[in-house]
Amino acid sequence: MAKRILITGAAGFLGSHLCDRFIKEGFEVIGMDNLITGDVKNIEHLIKLKNFEFHHHDITKFVHVAGKLDYILHFASPASPIDYLKIPIQTLKVGSVGTLHCLGLAKEKNARILIASTSEVYGDPQVHPQNEEYYGNVNAIGPRGVYDEAKRFQESITMAYHRFHGLETRIARIFNTYGPRMRLNDGRVIPAFIGQALRGEDLTVFGDGSQTRSFCFVDDQVEGIYRLLLSDYSEPVNIGNPDEISILDFASEIIKLTGTDQKITFEELPQDDPMQRQPDISRAKEVLGWEPKVSREEGMKITYDYFKNLGAEELEKREH
Where in the sequence numbering do the catalytic residues fall? Answer: 147
Single out the segment in contact with ligand UDP by CB under 6 A; choices: 134-142, 198-206, 227-235, 298-306. 198-206
x/- binding map, residues 31-50, to ligand UDP, per CB under 6 A? --------------------
Does the N-terminal peptide bond of residue 125 adopt cis geometry, omega within 30 degrees of 0?
no
**Amino acid occupying residue 116:** A
* Contact flag: residue 239 with ligand UDP (CB under 6 A): no
Residues 6+ apart with CB under 8 A from 222: 14, 17, 18, 21
Burial of 306 from C-beta contacts in 10 A (0-12 / 13-18 / 19+): middle
Question: Does 197 engage in binding with ligand UDP (CB under 6 A)?
Answer: no
| Per-residue binder mask for ligand NAD (CB under 6 A), 79-118, x = binder | x--------------x---x-----------------x-x
Q: Say if residues 112 and 72 touch (Cβ distance below 8 Å).
A: yes
Question: Residue 15, interface with ligand NAD (CB under 6 A)?
Answer: yes
Say how many residues make up the chain: 320
For residue 115, list its beta bridge partners.
74, 171
Answer for which of 12, 81, 279, 299 binds ligand UDP (CB under 6 A) is 81
Per partner kind, with CB cut-offs from 5 to 8 A, the member of ligand UDP, ligand NAD, none near residue 238 is none
Choice from 77, 130, 196, 241 touching ligand NAD (CB under 6 A) = 77
Q: Please state, in angstroms and rounded to a whole number, the distance separating the CA atoms of residues 207 and 265.
A: 10
**Between the CA of residue 171 and those of 3, 72, 205, 234, what are the distances in Å?**
20, 12, 32, 7
| Interface residues toward ligand NAD, by CB under 6 A | 8-9, 11-15, 33-38, 58-60, 75-79, 94, 98, 116, 118, 174, 176-177
Give me the residues that bind ligand UDP (CB under 6 A), please.
80-81, 176, 188-189, 192, 204-206, 211, 213, 247, 270, 273
